Amino acid sequence: MKPLCAGLARFALSVVFAILASCAVADTPTPRAPPELDAANLANVIDPLLSDWINKHKGPGAVVVVATREGLVFAKGYGLADIEAKRPFTADATLVRPGSISKLFTGVAVMQLVDQGKLDLDRNVEEYLDFPIPTPEGGVPVTLRRLLTHRAGFEEHAKSLFSRDREPELLGRWLARSLPLRLFPRGDVPAYSNYGFALAGYIVERVSGEPFAAYVARHILEPLGMSRSTFRQPLPETLAAMMAKGYRAADKPLPFFETIAGAPAGALSATGTDMARFIRALLNGGALDGVRILSKERLEEMTAPQDSTAAGYLGLAFFGTKHNGYDAIGHGGGTLAFLSDLELLPAQGFGVFVSFDGMQTTMDTPQIANAIAERFLPKTGEADNPGNAAFADNSKIAGVYHSSRRAESTFVKVADLVSQLYVRIDKEGRASISSAIWPFGEHIAVKRLGPNLYEGPRNWRFVFDDANEFGGQFISPATQFQRVPWHSDARFIVPAMAASAVVLLLTLLAWPTAALWRRWRKKTWSEDADDRRMYVTARLVALVNVAVIAASIVFFFSSKDFTILNDALDPLLVTLYALAWLGVLGAIPTVWIAVQFWRKGVGGRWTRAHHSLIAASAVMVAWFFVTFHIAGTTLNY
């Protein structure tokens, strides 16, 4: 799931790179052959990385497995699965939540039914459902192919995806009441969607006649011998005791089991060694130990590019990328507590699964698959690419971008605002990425790997395209980063909103102080009762706006725990909406009051200027409330 970027340009230095590479080869001693991929050599690479993560970043625990077609090569747990009980993390008896890696199982389930002729990847999914999914004018129907390639165009949906409930809401009911807007209904823009994969899993449930968790258990997990894996929520008693205690940070365990309503998008629980069996089945063309879960032809269809770019591709559920220049396929995943990754290098015949516990400690997790590729595979020409060099045509990519994985019709749009990325070009022509929020934060260097191809943080690759309706965009599998129009640019909106909030807050703080001062001096603000009423009205509007801003800040900080986004929040959300709309309407009299004060010459110049600032701030806040749906109209977000 999970969850950086910007825009790029054309270059003409590939010939120079080739010359530099050939010179390097001529002047460099012949490298030694890579070591054998065995447990001892893998431990020499992996153990220091995990020890460093645990010691420096206080990571609670993790598991790493490496498997080939023939068998399990490496499996080891690190740290503790339960800090208080001092229960060690193990590869075969500790369950983790792999998050969106679950989507691979959902994809296999869909393709099994396609193989049986029960599903058609290109048929309108309404034919399989018990609720409608309207096709907007100018759009195309939702199909399974579009769901498995994140091209149904759904906007981001958050409500009730995670919950603390012991029993999850029925999948079909959650899907029917949570149907998001189709932000990109033409099927031409990839927008990663948990809702879309949950919908695909529900279709499996409808067509097979089995609950999704039961279907996956009977047709994938049990045939592969994955006896310590399940989509069931809550966990069966036999597995519950093996579950790693999920941690937000090293000393902050989750006080609940993460229940995921859209189960096919991320509800799998599994051990590392079970995931190794899944890896082996994929490497062996869909079969393991004489048992086949999917035909080789259907698996090849899943892993083949459906939407290919120089930055990688998206197959049917699988992401195609590179590690140290080698082709890889797989999927990552994140939950409230775990960060996981599954990567296969089919041509080299091995795969890697890793899961880290402690979400707040995972920002600097070691990239295990990359480290293994660097150590155990021969160097490729790409590894010697002088990617940090400056290029004059980088100037094309400068600007602010936002992800196609976003919401536009609900207050979740605020998350899009604060996650905008700023691509900056320095005086030497080097590109870097940072947050667009002032003061922009740390600038992270972007490497150029080839014409229009760039690499950002953590092996994230993207292609720049300036021939599109968005005025320039970065393209990576399942997501586009589109150039933000000037009126939605966080570099301007956030400072303007902050200044407005400060003006309104200072006005409120000064209000009682000034009143006490006048009372002590036995004076009134004005002898005119209408002027006094207007004075008070402007401050009451400011009070409403400040209250809504403060409540919104508290809400968005609290909503880092996605489990609060549920029906129980609806009364508070309706109250917030009502107050925000009151603030929006209050901007009208506030502007009128400022005009009247200037027209009538009420008070001194400072008084009139102050009320002009209040009016301008109220208008800015009202625009923000409406644009980002703080003054909202829906409880489906």
69-121 tens-digit pLDDT: 999 999 999 999 999 999 999 999 999 999 999 999 999 999 999 999 999 99
CA distance 91 to 167: 27
Q: Is the pTM of this model over 0.85?
A: yes
Q: What is the pLDDT of residue 15?
A: 24
Residue 60 pLDDT > 50, yes or no?
Answer: yes
User: CB within 8 A of 156, min separation 6: which ones?
Assistant: 180, 193, 405, 406, 407, 412, 415
The one-letter amino acid code at 118 reads K
Q: What is the pLDDT of residue 585?
A: 98
Model pLDDT for residues 274-289, shown as the tens digit of each residue: 999 999 999 999 999 9
Query: What is the chain's length?
Result: 637
CA distance 228 to 98: 13
The residue written with tokens 């080939």 in the block is 68
Residue 393 pLDDT > 70, yes or no?
Answer: no
CA distance 280 to 351: 8
Contact indicator for 236, 230 with CB cutoff of 8 Å: yes
Helix (H) or strand (E) holding 432: strand 431-435
**What confidence tier does 6 reach under pLDDT thresholds 50, 70, 90?**
very low
CA distance 96 to 268: 8
Contact indicator for 246, 97 with CB cutoff of 8 Å: yes
The residue written with tokens 């069996």 in the block is 277
Peptide bond into 35 cis (omega under 30): no
Model pLDDT for residues 520-568, shown as the tens digit of each residue: 887 877 888 899 999 999 999 999 999 999 999 999 988 778 999 999 9
Q: What is the pLDDT of residue 388?
A: 61
Task: Give the mean pLDDT of 250-266.
Answer: 92
Task: Give the mean pLDDT of 232-242.
Answer: 96
CA distance 552 to 549: 5
Residue 232 pLDDT > 70, yes or no?
Answer: yes
Helix (H) or strand (E) holding 163: strand 162-163
Contact indicator for 330, 256 with CB cutoff of 8 Å: no
| Cα angle: 575, vertex 580, 581; to 5 degrees | 100
597, two tokens: 């004060």
Contact indicator for 590, 618 with CB cutoff of 8 Å: yes
Domains of the chain, first to last: 32-378 (3.40.710.10), 387-488 (2.40.128), 493-627 (no CATH)
CA distance 245 to 358: 9
Q: Is 574 helix (H, G, I), strand (E, B) or coil?
A: helix
Q: Who has greater pLDDT, 251 or 273?
A: 273
